[in-house]
Amino acid sequence: MITTIDDERGEVVIRDGDTEVRHSLASPEGFAAAARAWLRATWDAKYVYSFSWMGRPIIQLPDDMIRLQEVIYSVQPDVLIETGVAHGGSLVFYAALFEAMGRGRVIGVDIEIRPHNRLAIEAHAMKKRIELVEGSSTDPAVLDQVRAQLKPEDKVLVILDSNHTKEHVLNELRAYGELVSVGSWIVATDGIMEQVAGGPRTAPDWSWNNPRQAALDFVAEDKRFVIEEPMPTFNEGVAQARVSYWPDAYIRRIA
């Protein structure tokens, strides 16, 4: 499939073999097609490596973080668990939201928290709302450390952003799904891997070996969970689909 954006005419042209379809950029279909091309461009150009939050690099698409903060504000969790720490920017983002909300704390889990990142996180103004756990997110001993920091009455939300192989994410979903409160969410990030397979910095198996496929398998095996797009609290535009690195990522616990 070839997508061409015609700025002069305000159209998106989609060619699939001998078939050509044109959509106005002002239509939901045109916006969705342009967004797909934009997402591929952001991947190829490493666009998400150009943002920080309160001084810490945050390797995420801003669209995703803004959508996620609405979910966090709606759920009002007592604890947010994130697997995958990297530079700590997302942990600081969540902690800053909690600080503004006057509640909540963040537990960050990573197989390796590099010393310079740990020092920066521990020196940050938001550290008072952040706890770090080092080790594999699926290691039973690490899970025990996380559980030990939860109270029975805590409302818990989970973000998965560590090893993005299908097997690892599926194991994380099974483990951390048990910690998610009914009505809350577990978010399996970076299913964009499936869409950008064949591009720079990708692997041949990304078409199936990715978090989105893990999410689909998980909800098929555990009926307490469903993939459910969180409803926007505001939308006066025509665009309906999220511009996101996280397709089919939002998994809600319903029972």
Residues 41, 88, single domain; the answer is: no
CATH number of the domain where residue 130 is located: 3.40.50.150
Residues 18, 102, single domain; the answer is: no
Rounded Cα gap, residues 25 and 38, in angstroms = 13
Rounded Cα gap, residues 101 and 139, in angstroms = 32
C-alpha torsion 173→42→208→88, nearest 10: -30
pLDDT number for residue 77: 98
Q: State the DSSP code for 152.
A: T
pLDDT truncated to tens, each residue of the chain (255 aa)? 899 999 999 999 999 889 999 999 999 999 999 999 999 999 999 999 999 999 999 999 999 999 999 999 999 999 999 999 999 999 999 999 999 999 999 999 999 999 999 999 999 999 999 999 999 999 999 999 999 999 999 999 999 999 999 999 999 999 999 999 999 999 999 999 999 999 999 999 999 999 999 999 999 999 999 999 998 889 999 988 899 999 999 999 999
Residues 39, 80, single domain; the answer is: no
Rounded Cα gap, residues 49 and 243, in angstroms = 17
Residues 12, 108, single domain; the answer is: no
- Residue 10 is which amino acid? G
For residue 204, count other CB atoms closer than 10 A to its CB: 8
Residues 18, 144, single domain; the answer is: no
Residues 158, 97, single domain; the answer is: yes
pLDDT number for residue 240: 84
CA geometry: angle 66, 217, 76, nearest 5 deg: 35
Q: Per DSSP, what are the bridge partners of residue 187?
A: 159, 250
Residues 72, 109, single domain; the answer is: yes
Cβ-Cβ contacts under 8 Å for 4 (sequence gap 6 or more)? 12, 13, 14, 15
Three-state secondary structure call for residue 65 = helix
Q: Interhelix angle for 166-176 vs 211-221, to 10°?
A: 40
> In which domain, by residue range, is 103 found?
52-253
pLDDT number for residue 64: 98
Q: How many domains does the chain have?
A: 2
pLDDT number for residue 88: 98
Residues 1 and 14: beta-carbon distance below 8 Å: yes
Residues 253 and 223: beta-carbon distance below 8 Å: no
Residues 129 and 102: beta-carbon distance below 8 Å: no
